Amino acid sequence: MTISRMVPLALAVAFATGCGAGVKYAADYDPTADYSHISTYQWAHRTPKGDDDPRVYNDITARRVKHSVNLALQDKGMREVTSNPDVYLAWHGAINGKMSLQTINSNYGYGYGWNGGGFGAGTSTTYVNEWDKGTLLIDVIDAKKNELIWRGSAQAELRKHQDPSEGQEVLNDVVARILRDFPPGSGE
């Protein structure tokens, strides 16, 4: 049974090991964009879609993700504004069920026993491993051009955190790692 069938999880409190080896980070950006002027940001308005996953897109998760991003950007000297930002921010998340199969063969080949020998029949056992993989994307959009100029992401196996504050700490670490090299050339 996958974790998602046991209890509904919010992406924000479910990343496996924070900054551990199990999380894969990536970033892509427009090298022609001018990042030197970015000091203010505003959260872009998101229009809900009919196929939104409620485990990801809910008010609790949105507050947690935005809190983590705000902390990371404020640590870089940026500030959130309500009008005329340098960039808009958006986040996206997904939870996808994954499965792997492993077949182990044993007792095969020729064997020798009491009666002098014989051919042994092979047996095999297949193990099924199911888990949920979470993806978190953070987008930075140039406010003047309305163009995506930077995207960071993290992917990891999801695990349930019993305590919401523990999940928030993990999310803070994940988001800080996603934004570590933003803006490009910042030398952090």
* CA atoms of 139 and 149, how far apart (whole Å): 8
Domains contained in the chain, CATH given: 3-95+133-178 (3.30.160.670)
CA separation, residue 158 to residues 39, 54, 73 (Å): 33, 16, 25
Dihedral of CA atoms 140, 171, 18, 77 in degrees, nearest 10, equals 50
* Average pLDDT along the chain: 80
CB within 8 A of 96, min separation 6: which ones? 132, 133, 134, 135
**pLDDT surpassing 80 at residue 102:** no
- 125-181 pLDDT, tens per residue? 777 676 578 899 999 999 999 999 999 999 988 777 667 888 889 899 999 999 999
Whether the pTM exceeds 0.85: the reply is no
Q: What is the pLDDT of residue 30?
A: 97
Q: Which of 2-6, 98-102, 135-139 ranks highest by mean pLDDT?
A: 135-139
Q: What is the pLDDT of residue 4?
A: 38
Q: What is the pLDDT of residue 54?
A: 84
Helices 59-75 and 164-178: crossing angle, nearest 10°?
50
